[in-house]
Homo-oligomer: A and B are copies of this chain.
């Protein structure tokens, strides 16, 4: 297949682009490098640097078999502070992409959605029929795009899947998460192991969970990439599927830190800090629908595997990439 991967220089987009190339597909990456990294784009892919809204119309033609749309602003905290940039950068850009796909008669889409569309869950595990009450701008913009995709599927026969990621972690060989994000636990803990941070903050140890710390669902980025390819291959005209992607298992902040200690051999000091506003105690996906719909089975659900792969990537990057943020 000939595929356009927007945001293919980012973490998840880069891993997916790499997996697509490995499976023999022809990949064109469109990324403005505002947060992505040229080095994350597989060598065998065609790379176009630029804005998705501006260039999608030029890049796409009927020769493309599908689009994987990862390009987005994705920092929750920043989204709350600068909503305009997120509504423009995520929603307006995605609308331009949908119109460009339509104009070029490219009808197969996989969209990178998020568990943040649900907000505070009424029940665990989270299924796709639960209410969507995003508690931040990032989640609200992704939800709006999900709704827009539904409307294009109904009206114009778009074949689409939105994949709602839970906590993506790990790495795929040379492609991993090389941006330090304040809400992504594993990369932060590994920063401590590398000696770039003195300790890891645990936001609350009095949550109603087995060890008192928040519980999250970690999915290996390579399992995630598999789901994207399966979605692309099974999309049906006029149907927009919305599927959660998680491992279905929850790990607490303490469990994650302990596994990081074990894998890295570093003591990793932790400091308990107050709870953060808006943090739910537990976020765990039901991925039953993705498994059924896609025939997908995550095979790297062991937390050790996820941390080991993340650590291999992070420690190989070494002091070079991580010397700035502290």
Contact = CB atoms under 8 A, between A and B. Distances in A.
Interface of A: 79-84, 86-88, 91-92, 95, 98-99, 102, 131-134, 137, 140, 143-144, 147-148, 150-152, 154-156
A147 B92 CA distance: 14
A144 B87 CA distance: 10
Contacts of A147: 134, 137, 140, 143-144
Contacts of A84: 95, 98-99, 102, 152
A281 B88 CA distance: 37
19 contacts: A82-B155, A83-B148, A83-B151, A83-B154, A83-B155, A84-B95, A84-B98, A84-B99, A86-B151, A87-B151, A91-B95, A92-B92, A92-B95, A131-B131, A134-B147, A137-B147, A137-B155, A140-B148, A144-B148
Residue among A99, A133, A137 with most chain B CB within 10 A? A137
Nearest to A131: B131
A83 B144 contact: no
Given A82-B155, A83-B155, A92-B95, 7 more contacts: A80-B155, A87-B95, A88-B95, A91-B144, A137-B151, A137-B155, A144-B147
Nearest to A88: B95
Contacts of A151: 79-80, 83, 86-87, 137, 140
A123 to B, nearest CB: 13
Residue among A79, A81, A84 with most chain B CB within 10 A? A84
Contacts of A140: 144, 147-148, 150-151
Nearest to A129: B133
Pairs A-B, 9 closest by C-beta atoms:
A131-B131, A83-B151, A144-B144, A140-B147, A137-B151, A83-B155, A87-B95, A87-B148, A83-B152
B154 A80 contact: yes
A148 B138 CA distance: 10
Nearest to A134: B147
A312 to B, nearest CB: 38
A102 B87 CA distance: 15
Contacts of A86: 151
Nearest to A148: B87
Contacts of A91: 91, 95, 144
A133 B129 CA distance: 10
Contacts of A79: 151
A144 B84 CA distance: 13
A213 B132 CA distance: 31
Contacts of A131: 131-133
A65 B277 CA distance: 33
A7 B281 CA distance: 44
Contacts of A143: 144, 147
A132 B130 CA distance: 10
A81 B132 contact: no
Nearest to A144: B144
Nearest to A122: B131
A131 to B, nearest CB: 3
